[in-house]
Amino acid sequence: MADSLVASRDAGQFPGLCVAVTQTGPIPLDAEFACQPGELLALVGPSGSGKTTLLRTIAGLYRPQNGRVACADDVWFDAERKHSLSPQSRQVGMVFQDYALFPHLTALENIQLPLRHLPQPQRREQAEQWLGKVRLEGLGKRYPNALSGGQRQRVALARALARDPKVLLLDEPFSAVDQVTRRRLQRELALLRQQIDIPIVLVTHDLEEATALADQICVLHNGVSLQQDTPEALFSRPSSPLVARLLDRHNLFEGIVVEEEGERRLQWGENCLEVTVGLNDLPLGESVAWYLPPSDIVLHRRDRPSYGERENPLAATVEELVVLGGITSVSLRVNHGDMLRFDIATHAARRNQLTRGAVVNVSLLAEGIHILPGHQVRADAHDKRK
């Protein structure tokens, strides 16, 4: 995907936002990502991974050593040409984590700030319209200290959009509000997206938030963009064990490519697994990392064992059960050491009489097994600690 984005950008065909920047310090960067009009791209990664720095680079508040930032036909930054537009010239709307509202101005006056080029009557009319779009009708005369955290955030969002930006940047916009307000604001952002057709870049630490809101997710680590894809593709097909761990995925293992009855198989401890994709081009005897999404682990009912094709049935021992309301997190021990982790409904765990130490049967669906050639699970874990 990255190669096609680069090719489209170089050919002048990409209508959205393209970012490709590098530098050795003081903040190391080697990041590339793109966002189409109407899309929401989430930048995720641990603290210090460069998320906010990249957002500031797009806005023109930070200038990296090398690279390029372009939006449609407009080049905002090109280090090679020594070209960098000012933040005002980039037409970027930005919502900060702390709202950045002027406390001495009312909500309506805050929204009018980017509209100073218009006559006062038109300025007020447009600001009133934006108040309505973020569902704050009748609150325009209130000062920020008289608004709730969620209301202040909506004023900040309306102000960012009032300037008719080409790109909307959101820097952890919901982190300062309570969980109920956060869900409400996420829903309102999803509704508001239907009214605007520009690239939206969201910085967040919350993977659930990124999954719920984003069309694309870009995973960052130490300033490097590791993978950009849809949430579904990322969680089922991470490009490396490091990406899987940064996405809080646990089922990472190592196996050996073998042949059984003329077919490539994956030897995993005592088990020989069928794999739908990824083994045929690998040499026999090669050690490979592999990943299995929790959704592709199927727990057999005690009275209904499964012997279906490509299901890789095997026995495992329940190592840990953690009940979290209606969901139970299950850890199974396989091969005298490897741990399979997945969640099931708590009522299903009780129905199957899951208890610590019990032996159960599960299937590892062949279509879900994702081979990661060229990677080692343990070496990748060491890289993450750096």
The 10s digit of each residue's pLDDT in 225-250 is 999 999 999 999 999 999 999 999 99
On whether both 315 and 282 belong to a single domain, the answer is no
Q: What is the mean pLDDT of the chain?
A: 89
On whether both 299 and 383 belong to a single domain, the answer is no
Query: Which residues constitute the domain of residue 49?
Result: 2-246
In angstroms, the CA 252 to CA 39 distance is 31
Q: Pick the closest to residue 28 from 382, 374, 386 (CA basis).
A: 386
* Residue 312 three-state SS: coil
The CATH number that applies at residue 11 is 3.40.50.300
Residue 194 φ then ψ, to 5° = -70, -15
Count up the domains in the chain and report the number. Answer: 3
On whether both 287 and 301 belong to a single domain, the answer is no
* Tokens 């300037």, located at residue: 163
In angstroms, the CA 342 to CA 48 distance is 29
Asked if 375 contacts 383 with a C-beta cutoff of 8 angstroms, the reply is no
The CATH number that applies at residue 329 is 2.40.50.100
On whether both 82 and 139 belong to a single domain, the answer is yes
* Tokens 């905002």, located at residue: 76
pLDDT of amino acid 310 = 60
Q: Compute how many other C-beta atoms are within 10 angstroms of the C-beta atom of residue 348.
A: 14
Asked if 271 contacts 292 with a C-beta cutoff of 8 angstroms, the reply is no
In angstroms, the CA 72 to CA 15 distance is 4
On whether both 107 and 196 belong to a single domain, the answer is yes
On whether both 286 and 305 belong to a single domain, the answer is no
On whether both 186 and 275 belong to a single domain, the answer is no
- Tens-place pLDDT, residues 90-118: 989 999 887 789 999 999 999 999 888 88
Asked if 172 contacts 203 with a C-beta cutoff of 8 angstroms, the reply is yes
Q: For residue 314, what are the β-bridge partners? A: 362
Q: What is the pLDDT along the chain (386 residues), one digit of tens a residue?
A: 444 444 444 445 678 999 999 999 888 999 999 999 999 999 999 988 999 999 999 999 999 999 999 998 899 999 999 999 999 899 899 998 877 899 999 999 999 998 888 888 888 889 999 998 888 988 999 999 999 888 998 899 999 999 889 999 999 888 877 888 888 888 888 888 888 899 999 999 999 999 999 999 999 999 999 999 999 999 999 999 999 999 999 999 999 999 998 899 999 999 999 999 999 889 999 999 999 999 999 998 876 666 655 689 999 999 999 999 999 999 999 987 899 999 999 998 998 889 999 999 999 999 999 999 888 877 555 454 44
Burial class (CB in 10 A: 0-12, 13-18, 19+), 138: exposed
On whether both 285 and 300 belong to a single domain, the answer is no
